Amino acid sequence: MVTAAQQTASAPDAARTFPKGFLWGSATASYQIEGAAAEDGRTPSIWDTYARTPGRVRNGDTGDIATDHYHRWREDVALMAELGLGAYRFSLAWTRVQPTGRGPAVQKGLDFYRRLADDLLEKGIQPVATLYHWDLPQELEDAGGWPERATAERFAEYAALAADALGDRVKTWTTLNEPWCSAFLGYGSGVHAPGRTDPVAALRAAHHLNLAHGLAVQALRDRVRADAQCSVTLNIHHVRPLTGSDADADAVRRIDALANRVFTGPMLQGAYPEDLFKDTAALTDWSFVQDDDLRRIHQPLDFLGVNYYTPTLVSEADGSGTHTSDGHGRSTHTPWPGAERVAFHQPPGDTTAMGWAVDPTGLYDLLTRLASDFPRLPLVITENGAAFDDYADPSGQVNDPARIAYVRDHLAAVHRAIVDGVDVRGYFLWSLLDNFEWAHGYGRRFGAVYVDYPTGTRIPKASARWYSEVARTGVLPGA
């Protein structure tokens, strides 16, 4: 990855050229693509259970087969090589590695990831491994899940198993992907697995996810090669006020605490924000935070992974907005404990198939804020992309000009941030493949590669070819 000192751009003809060494990649998640739900020792995760529960997922879709990546991984790696990707961010399925969340690893599961990493390296693609992308072993959920401290301890043991098996191949590690979703969608609004709706459990889950991150970083550092990099990926919300009123500014503060600072505070600064404690005092006294937890959570990181799709627009609740906006599913329960006086609004402008506003200025503003708050911490865009209603035309082509425009404009925002001094070192397009999109099932297509689900056929979309050229040259064309 490029250093901050290398990030310069001054001549007009270099205005859209990214720094030498900038990392270009794409990303996926295990439950969304692998399938093979009961093969080689894999047992149910919370997403297997959730997806098989009637009414939870659109059309009753599950990840039992998904895109069948478990059997077609060689084909998928060949596609990445054809597209000229420099890196591939994938997640390990915890239940494929350690089916019950306890005890020894299953070698067949580890062998799958060993083969994947080896093939990536052979083709010059850097493997970037995420330990957790939401698929908690069901047995650990049955024992209490993320609201319980023991789950964080089990996660550290799992991280050690993964590091021992893959540490000689993988140089870049991510502990958690979007712990906000795991805590607040999984245990607050219930629109993600495990589907619980308890605000106190959501806050407890957030803390134990923080603790799991810190313990996992320690386990990784003890086992992986000296030049390995450790990180976490957060879906930092770029929160904007509806108006310039003091009340709307306070709404921003409340959501920023629940969405962002609940994780960046302990992980990056070693303390929870005091206003978060005050806002949630009617729910909990936070006594589940034990002595020495914050020291364990606050581990040095090599970079911060940033996922961005759309900004968040809020106001003081006055009846004009909703109280449960999260972009992932409707619920009568809020994912925002202690923020009952906050309303959410649809930002202006075009939207994707998810209903998310297209606004690359939010990404620029977010990156500059992070650079100001954490000036010595490099950033990597670990997810950015858009879902649209793609289809293969009679000639078998998939043209997706809206996705090209979305990615181009967001990359322009990243480039602008780099020119303005923000240390951004890479970009991972979400997603490599169309796949199981959580509660939306197979009804939302984020992929650069189209998947015909009945046959599994892969068809690179026009956006894949466009992104391939950007990744090969490091040059972003104009509109």
Q: Which residues are catalytic?
A: 178, 383
Q: Bridge-partner residues for 342, per DSSP? A: 316
Place of tokens 């720094």: 19
Nearest to 437 by CA among 137, 85, 205, 134: 134
Place of tokens 């009952």: 340
Burial of 415 (0-12, 13-18, 19+ CB in 10 A): buried
User: Dihedral, CA atoms, 181, 73, 43, 108, nearest 10 degrees?
Assistant: -130
User: Which H or E run includes 128?
Assistant: strand 126-132
The answer to whether the CB of 93 falls within 8 A of the CB of 112 is no
Tokens of 468: 């391939």
The answer to whether the CB of 400 falls within 8 A of the CB of 390 is yes
Nearest to 128 by CA among 92, 161, 159: 92
Count, residues in the chain: 479
The answer to whether the CB of 28 falls within 8 A of the CB of 72 is no
Strand order in the sheet with 239-241: 239-241, 312-316, 342-345
Q: Bridge-partner residues for 459, per DSSP? A: 450
Nearest to 347 by CA among 373, 312, 395, 375: 312
CA 135 to chain centre: 13
Burial of 409 (0-12, 13-18, 19+ CB in 10 A): middle
- Count other Cβ atoms within 10 Å, centred on residue 465: 13
Nearest to 95 by CA among 142, 148, 38: 38
Tokens of 392: 């293969």
- Each residue of 16-44: b (16+ CB within 10 Å) or e? bebbeebbbbbbbbbbbbbbbbeeeebbb
The helix/strand/coil state of 27 is strand
The helix/strand/coil state of 52 is coil
Helix 107-122 with 69-83: angle, nearest 10 deg: 20
CA 446 to chain centre: 13
Nearest to 9 by CA among 371, 370, 479, 476: 476
Integer angstrom CA distances of residue 190 from 48, 185, 276, 326, 330? 15, 5, 22, 11, 9
